[in-house]
Structure 1
Amino acid sequence: MPQTTHPGICRICSAHCGVLATVTDGRLTKVAGDPDNPMFKGYTCIKGRALPEIHNNPDRLLHSRKRLPDGTYTAIGSEQAMDEIAAALQELIAQHGPRSVAMYLGTNGLPYPASALMGNAFMRGIESPMFFTANTIDQPGKQIALAAHGHWLGGDVDFHEADSWMLVGTNPLVSKAIGIPGQNPSQNLRAAIERGMKLIVIDPRRSQTAARAAVHLQPRPGEDVTILAGIIHIIIDRQWHDPAFIDENVAGFDDLARAVAGFTPAYVAQRADVPEDQLRDAAETFATYGTKRGMVNAGTGANFALHGNLLEYLCLCLTTICGRWQRAGERVTRPNTLMPAFTAKAQPHPPYEGWGYGERLRVRGLTDTVAGMPTAALADEILLEGDGQVKALICIGGNPMAAWPDQRKTKRALESLELLVTLDTEMSLTSQLADYVIAPMMQMETPAMTMGSELIKYYTSGTGIPAAYGQYVPRIVEPPAGSDLIEEWRFFLGLTKRMGLELWFVNFFGGGGGRFMESPPVVLPINAETDLTTEELFAQMCSTSRIPLDEVRSHPHGKIFDVDAVVQERDPDCADRLDVGNTHMLDELNAVRAENYALRQDVSEFPFRLIPRRHQNFINSSGTALPALHRGKPFNPLYMHPEAMAGLGLQSGAAVSVTSGHDTVAAVVEADPTLRRDVVAMHHAFGGLPEEDAGFREHGTNVGRLVPTDTEYDPVTGLPRQGDIAVRVCAHGETSTG
């Protein structure tokens, strides 16, 4: 039985870990960390090690499927499917206009950079503005805040050199997403603490990350803005800010000082239910410890409550008034490798328009934004009849029935479409409603490179690989014998040819990166004559890279390149400033201060607050049915403090009903002493269809069903309250009124 082992790249998340992939008799049989990879040094996580089970999943689709009139599915060749889909799209566009076609890009599109880019080019080619991504139902405040605040062109402080770091509502030891570098985050944090770095964590749960913090504030959920405003107030009051940096680079400082004046330590302590002395310790540790290097990052948990834009803005303001950015003469933390070289400068890029432009949705006054179109409003755009109604939806790497808020509305919307197409490796909840399910190739069946892990730094601070690192790997395993699989980007190329379109493929899209690149983007014409392999397309995408792709390719285990990039001095004529006094943001902060917060703390009807929680073994809904990942627990428990459970007469493993002001779901309760007594937590993106509630022990619980999209939502991004949800809990089958 022939067996070979190859260097590879795991693309389950944005960390892009270097791995070793073993192929036995043509099948992927083992994935392990690559000890010869200079960045990851043998590290990988359980999700990466389960790639063989993911590839060889018995439920994997090896042929595309078409829905028949009786609701069953039949296999269909990918070429015939593209013929029929292209004809259906042309008919819909002719009848209802380009806006009738929408696209949704989920997080599972990230492993395949050409897929997202070609999908975006296709939408521009048919002249539809209805391109939506998972970004606006997760953390869109990051891009909104950067637009309001501006960017520091010198880049982030290096975590490996920081004296203190503050994390708000994020657990990067599990998510590997932000703050602590995702290349073995546990080891990176351990090394930082051993050299003396002080970690500050704000989280209602004593998470794996919070357990290692020098200061852990464990507040009521939803009060992160209150706490950050209070910390800024203390720092300004004690004059721990950086006046020289502010004088040269910052506007709006006096406005910010006035806006936080009411967030006194006593007020914040009472409202957020944190000790006043602990609040002061957090402020002092961050602002004064060591040589005063470090940053502030927030995560999904904090962004899922309301005020995510303001939260991220205050993170930037706190970082800025303390001068926590790389300065002239210091090493550039994240120099590009497969993206173009750039000149980092110790100066601001000024704020820019972040919302209120482009396409206007027909609901809730929402518009396009720098974070993208408001995905939480897409179901309404499908259901709302009249001019501009969405009639067709194409999903790449996404599972709206598991991920979107208000699952019942989502189901009504998807069932009402005239055409629903998914590109999916299995019959997910969304694919079970689709007209066509296109079976794509998977990770190790396609070439891979780390360009995407570089691009992400343009979207927010605290992300990306902190080195001039790059890796490229060829295809490692062939698709299963007898299968008919297509690379996702080639599906859109097939539609382009059939519809007679002329596309312009750009090697990035959205608000990230374009305005800061010194080299123009790579733009490729795509039409009926285009004949490219993925390898050739990658070469074109990297044609302006700092390190030539051929050089990166010559180091199969990846390489940290010798790039002598330091932050340059400020331009003599630079008058730009970062803005910590944005009117929209400070008006929202004033509204937060004016709230009658006692009403929010009335727990008579809903005594618990439900918060989200990352899962060590899953990225959203992917792989939840695989025994190698769920290890006998395919559901997402309702985590609850043991004392709260005892008060309700519950034991771990019991079935419970969880009720919000919008809906009720069934779940399995599990004791967790790391939570506050008044907080419960669940992983999102589990569960079945709404009519499958009885199977919650087999497939988990859909948290999104508890979330309405049109009552409490951000007026800029449309992001509804998906965390800090007021709920009550009772034994399943009982009736509770609070």
Structure 2
Amino acid sequence: MLATVVDGKLTKVAGDPDNPLFKGYTCAKGRALPDIHNNPDRLLHSQKRTVGGGYAPVESGQAMDEIAATLQRLIAEFGPRSVALYLGTNGLPYPASALMANAFIRAIGSPMFFTANTIDQPGKQIALAAHGHWLGGDVNFHEADSWLLVGTNPLVSKAIGIPGQNPGQSLKAAINRGMKLIVIDPRRSQTAARAAIHLQPRPGEDAAILAGIINIVIDEKLYDREFVEENVDGFAALAEAVADFTPAHVAGRADIDEQQLVKAARLFASYGKRGGMVNAGTGANMAMHGNVVEYLCLCLTSICGRWQRAGERVTRPNTLLPAFTAKAQAHPPYEGWGYGEQLRVRGLTDAVCGMPTAALADEILLDGDGQVKALICIGGNPMAAWPDQRKTLRALENLDLLVTLDTEMSLTSRLAHYVIAPKMQMETPAMTMGSELIKYYASGTGIPAPYAQYAPRLAEPPSGSDLTEEWQFFLGLAKRMDLELWFINFFGGGGGRFMESPPIVCNFNGDTQITTEELFEKMCETSRIPLDEVRRHPHGHVFDVEAVVEVKDADCAAKLDVGNVVMLGELGRYFGEDIRVGWNDTDFPFRLIPRRHNNFMNSSGTRLATLNKGKAYNPTYMHPDSIAALGLNSGDLVTVTSPHDCIPSVIEADDSLRPDVVATHHAFGGLPSEDEEVRDRGSTVGRLIPTEVDFDPITGLPRQGNIPVRVTARSTVGEVSL
């Protein structure tokens, strides 16, 4: 981006036409950075809760003193496990923040490190552990003739499948050169509207559709026999597991056209000389069976041989990460779950996706040995994001210590004992190492080029403010608690079990004088491209890296596994579910699905007029015919009720949805006592979701999509919710 700074104040942000990847593109959130930085509600001083329940400014050093002392007391009395840390998505713009937070929680000896990953798309890492990695890497979207997207809308989310640096232009160019896009989505999203084939099923049937496509590919012998024989195990088990998912069965349960399903399978498997990959998103993961959905995506990719081969360019070569040698061979499956810390509820454990965040509220509320007494939230807003909002509220109010690092008094910060005011993006240096790391969490993500960029601090913190960088807060606590920090440039449960090159490890040993710029130097000591060289290209640069996939090692016997017993066992149980019974439930005739918002990153900035355009709430989108059938009008106040709870909302007509489906954005809303402010705040979808019913036994992820609901007129704004 190009930023205009006047007298130290950020006044304008625009796309940079000289950037080789973005080429002038930026999103609404980026363009709104001046308003986000200069927001009158921004915290310029850390806050401490007063005896009367209000808040008063506190000097950041004093806050660290008091927080460190309280943590030491709790650890001495209840043990290290009594302290937990939660990392949300707003930590992503700051490369060192999450890594230093992880170093801190490990230094005190607590295993209780949680992230937003396990309430979003944890199936990606579970599936990769069960399937294995292809060391040649992903197919390049810009060269593929076909691509399949499941429950994701990358033109808005900028996340999975289509490269996020300029997704609209990338998709337009791909379609113009003849690529055929296939989309599976209950909504005719912006991405689905550009697809050659759009299957618009009932929610929750993604696994059935993928199994049906695999069945067709196998039955019609459209798979890559040579690749399967040399690089794939479990093919016979996969064929047997999907055999019952016939086109007729899948079309019936998913309510899609049978011939369109067959056409989609044939188009994906046999169109063009260079086929593409399969990627699933949040919608598919939140509807239950996300692990199986992601596993079948990998299975379909592998039996069709859709990985980079020997002699082809590496799609995502490291740049600010260490160099590695890509090879046309498999890294075998590895232990993905059931190890490490045992949670006290629902039989859950640590996993490659991280600790199960949906169980953290229970760990706070459940008395006894191991109870969580203190929680530090960095870049997250549990009251808006976690499932079961009422339980979350009870849990956060039960804590002896709740600390948030937040730019404003969010829902969660309004419950905190301390709110640490951090610096923001333009007040800190930045680099693209974090964007490279994302590729280790899922195929179809990361930077599809040897690209890197560094940006210096551009704006000064507001005059008279007392702000700290998030990573410095944790280093400050470590000094006060006499801890030695070992900083590793990868984190998240067992997520670091696979990297092509060893992670970088730095020992700080209480050095609180180091600057962010010096920390970046440490992080980039073994980078493929030296940080000094990256700095010489202020607009970002695609470096001349001749990274080519090498041939398979002569002694390599490893194979990708498409016959994992656990994953295929779940698929079998899924086949036995009579999903159609639920669709005939007159008490809950609609299914609620999640939907990304173009202008917001989860709960951030929803009250900024620049971004919300006068609509600070998250509507419940519904097909116009369904609104009319209920005797309602677009814009009416309604109550949305699930079997667990209910929320207020505002309905809005949207003919891109199936008539039996409604959709809304997660991470809006206020506290339960603020329902009457629905038009000013929106409503919290998490309140509709129980954590101990319909949850994944590996990741703990509850049903956060495909939620049975009814929609009724709301007689008054102050109508009491359950």
Fold in common (TM above 0.5): yes
Report SS of the residue matched to 1:356: strand
Q: State which of 255, 260, 267 in structure 1 corresponds to 2:249.
A: 267
Aligned residue-pair number? 717
Q: State which of 450, 470, 477 in structure 1 corresponds to 2:459.
A: 477
Superposition pairs for residues 327-366 of structure 1, below 5 Å?
Answer: 327-366=309-348
Q: State which of 44, 63, 68 in structure 1 corresponds to 2:26.
A: 44
Report SS of the residue matched to 2:183: strand
Deviations 1:192-222 (A, max 9, x none): 0000000000000000000000000000000
Report SS of the residue matched to 1:66: strand
Report SS of the residue matched to 2:676: helix
Deviations 1:350-381 (A, max 9, x none): 00000000000000000000000000000000
Report SS of the residue matched to 1:324: coil
Does structure 1 residue 583 correspond to structure 2 residue 565?
yes
Q: Distance in 2 between matches of 1:291 and 1:606?
A: 47
Q: Distance in 2 between matches of 1:416 and 1:532?
A: 36
Does structure 1 residue 655 correspond to structure 2 residue 637?
yes
Which residue is equivalent to 1:30?
12
Change (3 A) 1:144 1:563: same
Q: Distance in 2 between matches of 1:416 and 1:306?
A: 30
Does structure 1 residue 543 correspond to structure 2 residue 525?
yes
Which residue is equivalent to 1:207?
189
Which residue is equivalent to 1:406?
388
Does structure 1 residue 151 correspond to structure 2 residue 117?
no
Which residue is equivalent to 1:137?
119
Deviations 1:67-108 (A, max 9, x none): 012101000000000000000000000000000000000000
- Quick one: which amino acid aligns to residue 604 of structure 1? T
Deviations 1:616-664 (A, max 9, x none): 1001000000000000000000000000000001111100110000001
Which residue is equivalent to 1:73?
55
Q: Distance in 2 between matches of 1:529 and 1:137?
A: 35
Q: Distance in 2 between matches of 1:118 and 1:517?
A: 22
Does structure 1 residue 515 correspond to structure 2 residue 498?
yes
C-alpha displacement of 1:531: 2.4
Does structure 1 residue 392 correspond to structure 2 residue 374?
yes
Change (3 A) 1:529 1:457: closer
Does structure 1 residue 238 correspond to structure 2 residue 220?
yes
Superposition pairs for residues 112-127 of structure 1, below 5 Å?
Answer: 112-127=94-109
C-alpha displacement of 1:600: 2.2
C-alpha displacement of 1:513: 5.3
Contact 2:143 2:274 in 1 (8 A): no
Which residue is equivalent to 1:307?
289
Deviations 1:466-504 (A, max 9, x none): 100000011000100000000000000110000011111
Q: State which of 618, 623, 626 in structure 1 corresponds to 2:600.
A: 618
Q: Distance in 2 between matches of 1:610 and 1:515?
A: 35
Superposition pairs for residues 275-290 of structure 1, below 5 Å?
Answer: 275-290=257-272
Contact 2:21 2:166 in 1 (8 A): no
- Quick one: which amino acid aligns to residue 143 of structure 1? Q
- Quick one: which amino acid aligns to residue 354 of structure 1? G
Does structure 1 residue 631 correspond to structure 2 residue 623?
no
Identity %: 74
Report SS of the residue matched to 1:516: coil
Q: Distance in 2 between matches of 1:557 and 1:20?
A: 9
Which residue is equivalent to 2:80?
98
- Quick one: which amino acid aligns to residue 383 of structure 1? L
Deviations 1:421-468 (A, max 9, x none): 000000000000000000000000000000011111111100011100
- Quick one: which amino acid aligns to residue 471 of structure 1? Q
Contact 1:234 1:280 in 2 (8 A): yes
Q: State which of 579, 584, 590 in structure 2 corresponds to 1:602.
A: 584
- Quick one: which amino acid aligns to residue 642 of structure 2? S
Deviations 1:274-310 (A, max 9, x none): 0000000110000000114100000001111110000
Contact 1:455 1:512 in 2 (8 A): no
- Quick one: which amino acid aligns to residue 652 of structure 1? S
Q: State which of 554, 560, 564 in structure 1 corresponds to 2:546.
A: 564
Superposition pairs for residues 474-513 of structure 1, below 5 Å?
Answer: 474-510=456-492, 511-512=494-495
Mean alpha-carbon deviation: is it higher for 602-611 or for 124-133?
A: 602-611
Q: Distance in 2 between matches of 1:365 and 1:512?
A: 20
Q: Distance in 1 between matches of 2:691 and 2:496?
A: 30
C-alpha displacement of 1:597: 2.3
Report SS of the residue matched to 1:497: helix
Superposition pairs for residues 160-199 of structure 1, below 5 Å?
Answer: 160-199=142-181
Q: Distance in 1 between matches of 2:458 and 2:474?
A: 24
Report SS of the residue matched to 2:96: helix
Which residue is equivalent to 1:534?
516
Contact 1:506 1:522 in 2 (8 A): yes
Q: Distance in 2 between matches of 1:80 and 1:654?
A: 49
Contact 2:397 2:415 in 1 (8 A): yes
- Quick one: which amino acid aligns to residue 200 of structure 1? I
Unmatched 5+ residue regions in structure 2? none
C-alpha displacement of 1:247: 0.4
C-alpha displacement of 1:323: 0.3
Change (3 A) 1:551 1:512: farther
- Quick one: which amino acid aligns to residue 165 of structure 2? Q
Report SS of the residue matched to 2:136: coil
Deviations 1:522-562 (A, max 9, x none): 22112234421000000000000000000001111110000
- Quick one: which amino acid aligns to residue 26 of structure 2? T
C-alpha displacement of 1:515: 3.2
Which residue is equivalent to 1:708?
690
C-alpha displacement of 1:603: 2.6
Q: State which of 436, 451, 474 in structure 1 corresponds to 2:418.
A: 436
Contact 1:250 1:579 in 2 (8 A): yes
